[in-house]
Amino acid sequence: MSETPYQRILLTGGTGNLGSSLRPHLTSLCEKLRVADRVDPGPARAGEEVRTVSLEDREGMLALLEGVDAVVHFGGVMKEDWELLLTGNVIGLQHLYEAARIHGVRRVVQASSNHATGFYPAGQVISPSDPPRPDCLYGATKVWGEALARLYYDRYGIESACLRIGSAFPEPRGRRMLPTWLSYGDLARLVRSCLLAPKVGYSVIYGVSDNRDVWWDNSVAANLGYQPEDSSEPFRAAIEAAHPPLAADDPDALYQGGRFVAVMDDSRSDRDCN
């Protein structure tokens, strides 16, 4: 395979934590990386071009997808705010897929979330073939995103890899994240595998590192060539020393989605979903 298998890759959400971490890893896969966000992505780096556009802007999205071969979609909303989720994660995602159809884009790597299945019990091993069990409105919009990807694959042949990202941080932040942690390095390896695999069809994959405790059967990712190199295990001793054992009735101990299963009042509606 050539050094640049794609002419142009679009990265949405390019100013976010995960999008920013992916930027330097994508330029080697394309002649030009188009970095987009609703806020100014800043000056273009070597091998990049930048655009400022909102997902809910249908005409703007149509222009954004012109000349694109593949999309790495990390834009959208991570707040538990229905109005924002509706415009960013529901309407905006449909704009992206419709623009991809019009311009002949053949592959999308889409950031879904472990919160699409967060109501499963902690410790139960599930696979992408198990029914969704979203733990919050954010998780429900990610189920919609997976369903939309399925539709556009079956009807139009646009391949999609939907990544149910676990807890993606530089390091795990608590006991619940020991099984769900995804390092930034493994995130880049996962996205790269989905872009370089000869065929992904419609695939749902968990974004998780090589952690000791396993909640998710990730054989689909392995079949696409994903080999995680990091693990939460080196952080275990420090986390267990800093965080007392979880109470038996603590949502973080009961559910894979942890505290996000709880009904939120307005004062907590803007919290991030991780």
Give the CB-side neighbour count of residue 210, counting CA atoms within 13 A. 10
> Which of 138, 184, 206, 226 is the catalytic position?
138
3-class DSSP string for the chain: CCCCCEEEEEEECCCCHHHHHHHHHHHHHEEEEEEEECCCCCCCCCCEEEEECCCCCHHHHHHHCCCCCEEEECCCCCECCHHHHHHHHHHHHHHHHHHHHHHCCCEEEEEEEHHHHCCCECCCCECCCCCCCCCCHHHHHHHHHHHHHHHHHHHHCCEEEEEEECEECCCCCCCCHHHHEECHHHHHHHHHHHHHCCCCCEEEEEECCCCCCCCECCHHHHHCCCCCCCCCHHHHHHHHHHCCCCCCCCHHHHECCHHHHCCCCHHHCCCECC
Q: For residue 138, indicate whether it is catalytic.
A: yes
Residues acting as catalytic residues: 138
